């Protein structure tokens, strides 16, 4: 229902969004890797003044088991204030929660009780496939034409994956987004530069190559995604493809600058076939086209094969496995999750072509099994994975599971879920909040985090 004044969580510019009040709740996708117990959206109290700080205060179980909740997002956000397609009186109220494995999409209303959102609609897999032509819905972004969903496969579970649109008020699926997809076949993440009318998409692989875990043959053959795609956001046409080379496998998370006048962004490649390193690339505008440059390379660390899972024994090294990155609202700090080694790194990217490492913490890790002040002496498994940054840039949250079937390939005993928080110094530097450690229920593992009112990977802006 429309309101009389704009939703107070909508901000015209990232500069104004940085002044938003601190979040008090975090929503976390939580899934059962055995697919016996229904997945859930867990609600974590992140208000340091609250008596239940650092505790799970709500759980919203899905109606079915085996969805594999992964990424999710809001129905509406700051892009509703855009001048060319204004919807300022929509509400940021509903969480759009897809099951990556089931292709079912759940709509949760968080307005009446933010600690216990209510499921108000479920779009069944057959309806999603029929209306959108796609399955395996992944990234959710609120944007100029409603809700954009990146999906990894077509209705038959095969190539091409792509993007479809949902109505941000009725949640009906409006259909495939692309008018001309050009050479694009694989899909993963989606985001855009509103100031340049440009959409960007990245690549993972097809369900057959990840739903039973990463396929070493496909990986070593360089056949997972290794390209970026650029699109005309309003004409819905593919305009350019940039190939990182087959050695740079799994081109994942897209983090365009929040300032709409800046034409650059960051993306991670999880692993290099050359030396198991991981890399971060900057894409940028060069003349009339987009270009990329590798700006960070994180090397693998030598390790005793005894301490390594079967998949890595032959390499005698731990790959950093950079599986997620996140950019602060002022486009100054880039946070980098090294799920393999256990590092969570902070880089100053004021110069997007010359990042400077300004902080590192280590927790979990395939070999290091580093602990946390509040977890006592327990060795922790899993590693920094989905990372989310508060709008003011002072708090960083992350969880430790990547994907059910892949977790066991790198952490063979399985993953005991946890969520932690870092305090970030505005001048650079990060440290654990010693009071914040959420041990996950044994039945479930945590994945993406969304913060109440918006965060650094939820909203896009039309004004600098």
Q: Give the interface with another protein as residue ranges (CB under 8 A).
A: 2-6, 8, 10-13, 16, 81-90, 144-146, 167-169, 174, 194-197, 233-234, 260-261, 462-464
Is 153 or 165 the residue whose CB approaches another protein more closely? 165
Query: Residue 126 Cβ, how far from another protein at the closest point, in Å?
Result: 24
Q: Token pair 């056949």 is at which residue? A: 223
Is 210 or 463 the residue whose CB approaches another protein more closely? 463
Q: Token pair 């941000």 is at which residue? A: 168
Query: Residue 190 Cβ, how far from another protein at the closest point, in Å?
Result: 16
Query: Residue 165 Cβ, how far from another protein at the closest point, in Å?
Result: 9
CB 456 within 8 A of CB 346: no
What is each CA distance from 191 to 67, 90, 122, 143, 201, in whole angstroms? 24, 21, 25, 9, 7
What is each CA distance from 156 to 128, 136, 185, 207, in whole angstroms? 12, 10, 14, 10
**Interior angle at CA 273, CA 187 and CA 201, nearest 5:** 20
Is 87 or 450 the residue whose CB approaches another protein more closely? 87
Is 49 or 287 the residue whose CB approaches another protein more closely? 287
CA distance 175 to 166: 7
Is 53 or 196 the residue whose CB approaches another protein more closely? 196
| Ramachandran category for residue 78: left, alpha or beta (phi over 0 → left; psi -120 to 50 → alpha) | alpha
Q: How many residues does the chain have?
A: 464
Query: Residue 110 Cβ, how far from another protein at the closest point, in Å?
Result: 20
Query: Residue 458 Cβ, how far from another protein at the closest point, in Å?
Result: 17
Query: Residue 144 Cβ, how far from another protein at the closest point, in Å?
Result: 5
Is 233 or 251 the residue whose CB approaches another protein more closely? 233
**The tokens of 316 are what?**
């005698």
Q: What are phi and psi of 405, to 5 degrees?
A: -75, -15
Query: Residue 109 Cβ, how far from another protein at the closest point, in Å?
Result: 18
Sequence-distant (6+) residues with CB within 8 A of 190 are 139, 141, 148, 150, 163, 199, 200, 201, 202, 254
Query: Residue 143 Cβ, how far from another protein at the closest point, in Å?
Result: 9
Query: Residue 235 Cβ, how far from another protein at the closest point, in Å?
Result: 8
Q: Token pair 């940028």 is at which residue? A: 284
Is 21 or 305 the residue whose CB approaches another protein more closely? 21
**The tokens of 382 are what?**
């899993």
Structural element, H or E, at residue 229: strand 227-232
Is 305 or 464 the residue whose CB approaches another protein more closely? 464
Is 11 or 252 the residue whose CB approaches another protein more closely? 11
Query: Residue 42 Cβ, how far from another protein at the closest point, in Å?
Result: 30
**Among 268, 238, 242, which Cα is nearest to 255's?**
268
Q: What is the DSSP letter of 382?
A: S
CA distance 15 to 18: 5
CA distance 332 to 255: 12
CA 433 to chain centre: 22
Is 91 or 211 the residue whose CB approaches another protein more closely? 91
């Amino acid at each position: 229902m429309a309101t009389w004044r704009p939703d107070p969580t909508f901000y015209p510019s990232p500069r104004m969004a940085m002044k938003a009040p601190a979040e008090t709740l975090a929503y976390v996708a939580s899934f059962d890797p055995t697919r016996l117990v229904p997945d859930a959206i867990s609600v974590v109290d992140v208000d340091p003044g609250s008596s239940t700080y650092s505790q799970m205060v709500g759980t919203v179980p899905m109606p079915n088991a085996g969805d594999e909740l992964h990424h999710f997002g809001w129905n509406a956000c700051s892009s509703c204030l855009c001048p060319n397609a204004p919807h300022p009186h929509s509400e940021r109220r509903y969480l759009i929660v897809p099951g990556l494995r089931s292709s079912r999409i759940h709509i949760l209303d968080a307005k009446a009780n933010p600690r216990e959102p209510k499921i108000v609609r479920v779009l069944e897999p057959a309806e999603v496939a029929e209306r959108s032509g796609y399955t395996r819905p992944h990234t959710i972004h609120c944007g100029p034409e409603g809700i954009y969903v990146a999906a990894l496969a077509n209705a038959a579970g095969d190539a091409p994956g792509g993007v479809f649109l949902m109505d941000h008020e009725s949640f009906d699926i409006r259909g495939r987004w692309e008018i001309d997809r050009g050479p694009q076949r694989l899909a993963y993440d989606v985001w855009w530069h509103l100031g340049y009318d440009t959409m960007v998409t990245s690549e993972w692989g097809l369900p057959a190559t990840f739903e039973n875990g990463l396929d070493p043959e496909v990986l070593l053959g360089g056949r997972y995604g290794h390209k970026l795609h650029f699109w005309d956001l309003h004409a819905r046409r593919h305009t350019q493809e940039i190939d990182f080379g087959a050695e740079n496998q799994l081109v994942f998370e897209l983090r365009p600058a929040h300032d709409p006048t800046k034409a650059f962004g960051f993306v991670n490649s999880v692993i290099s076939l050359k030396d198991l390193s991981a890399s971060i690339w900057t894409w940028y505008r060069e003349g009339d086209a987009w270009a990329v440059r590798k700006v960070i390379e994180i090397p693998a660390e030598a390790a005793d094969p005894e301490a390594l899972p079967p998949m890595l024994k032959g390499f005698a090294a731990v790959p950093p496995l950079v599986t997620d990155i996140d950019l602060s609202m002022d486009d100054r700090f880039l946070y980098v999750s090294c799920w393999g080694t256990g590092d969570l790194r902070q880089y100053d990217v004021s110069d997007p072509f010359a990042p400077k490492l300004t902080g590192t913490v280590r927790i979990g890790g395939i070999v290091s099994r580093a602990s946390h002040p509040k977890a006592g002496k327990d060795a922790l498994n899993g590693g920094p994975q989905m990372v989310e940054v508060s709008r003011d840039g002072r708090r960083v949250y992350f969880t430790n599971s990547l994907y059910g079937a892949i977790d066991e390939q790198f952490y063979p005993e399985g993953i005991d879920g946890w969520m932690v928080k870092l305090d970030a110094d505005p001048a650079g530097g990060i440290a654990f909040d010693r009071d914040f450690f959420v041990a996950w229920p044994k039945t479930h593992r945590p994945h993406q985090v969304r913060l109440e009112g918006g965060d650094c990977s939820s909203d896009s802006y039309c004004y600098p």
